[in-house]
Structure 1
Amino acid sequence: MIVGVGIDVCDVDRFAAAIQRRPGLVKRLFTSTEATRPVASLAARFAAKEALAKALGAPSGLSWLDAEILTDDEGKPSFAITGTVAARAAALGVGAIHVSLSHDAGIASAFVICER
């Protein structure tokens, strides 16, 4: 059963400009592993975290660092959730989180499905 669906898009150039103006954003938004990725990949991960928040009902108090995008050996992304995000997912009975990322033509996008 689907508990929530979220989608988000991010302009890669605008995102790059934002992190150039405020370098501290990278540490606030991404884990140390995520932070090593290229800017288009970071923009897609930001979109994924936004999409996940939407799929979880967009409650206040979620920490960006409590949702990390991992990539397996074949390039498939998945979420590792802890803390505030894991607590919200548990409260909703979420048993699985599906995520798809894309970036092309200057736009990064993400789609998330949370299911029970």
Structure 2
Amino acid sequence: MGVLGVGIDLVDVDRFRVSLARTPSMRARMFTDGERAYAETANDPTERYAARFAAKEAVMKAMGVGLGAFGFHDVEVLRADGGQPSLRVVGAAELLAVERGVLAWQLSLTHTATSAGAVVVALG
């Protein structure tokens, strides 16, 4: 398996917090039930939401597409019991991945109180 694409995204946590406060429906529009359930267990869920948003954007970049190519619910960040993040790609995002020959994904997330980032590697 080789690298087909790499995507990276960085989100300003304070700016994302303002967006979430201004548009509360954004949570349901951009994040799956599982992502919201995980994020909301934190004292400040914004860092977790921002990291997951960064992952969705990084998937788009790894496949060479922009906003609108698929819905935000088409990419879900999962978390193993040990904490390792992974991706579930469905719907239009899955179709694009199949077209591009993506067989697997690697995901790395990071966040601090001020920024959240994700790196995605598409493998095929």
**What TM-score range do you get, normalising by the shorter chain?**
over 0.9
**CA distance in 1 between partners of 2:65 and 2:25 (Å):** 23
Deviation track 1:9-38 (CA, whole Å, cap 9, x = no partner) reads: 001111011010001111111001111301
Please tell me whether residue 11 in structure 1 is matched to residue 19 in structure 2. Answer: no
Shift of 1:105: 4.2
Structure 1 moving runs of 4+ over 6 Å: none
Structure 2 runs not aligned, ≥5 long: 40-44
Amino acid at match of 1:51: A
Amino acid at match of 1:42: Y
Q: Which residue of 1 aligns with 2:79?
A: 71
User: Please, what is the CA RMSD of the aligned residues?
Assistant: 1.0
Q: How high is the TM-score relative to the length of structure 2? A: 0.90
Deviation track 1:59-110 (CA, whole Å, cap 9, x = no partner) reads: 5431100100000010000001110110000000100110000001410000
Q: Which residue of 1 aligns with 2:42?
A: none
Q: Paired residues, what number?
A: 116
The correspondence of residues 20-35 of structure 1 with structure 2, limited to 5 A, is: 20-35=21-36
- SS of residue in 2 equivalent to 1:43: helix
**CA distance in 2 between partners of 1:94 and 1:13 (Å):** 34
Residue of 95, 105, 108 corresponding to 1:100:
108
**CA distance in 2 between partners of 1:21 and 1:114 (Å):** 33
Q: How high is the TM-score relative to the length of structure 1? A: 0.96
Q: Which residue of 1 aligns with 2:47?
A: 40
Amino-acid identity (%): 41
**CA distance in 2 between partners of 1:101 and 1:14 (Å):** 18
**CA distance in 2 between partners of 1:19 and 1:47 (Å):** 15
Please tell me whether residue 114 in structure 1 is matched to residue 122 in structure 2. Answer: yes
Q: Which residue of 2 aligns with 1:87?
A: 95
Structure 1 runs not aligned, ≥5 long: none
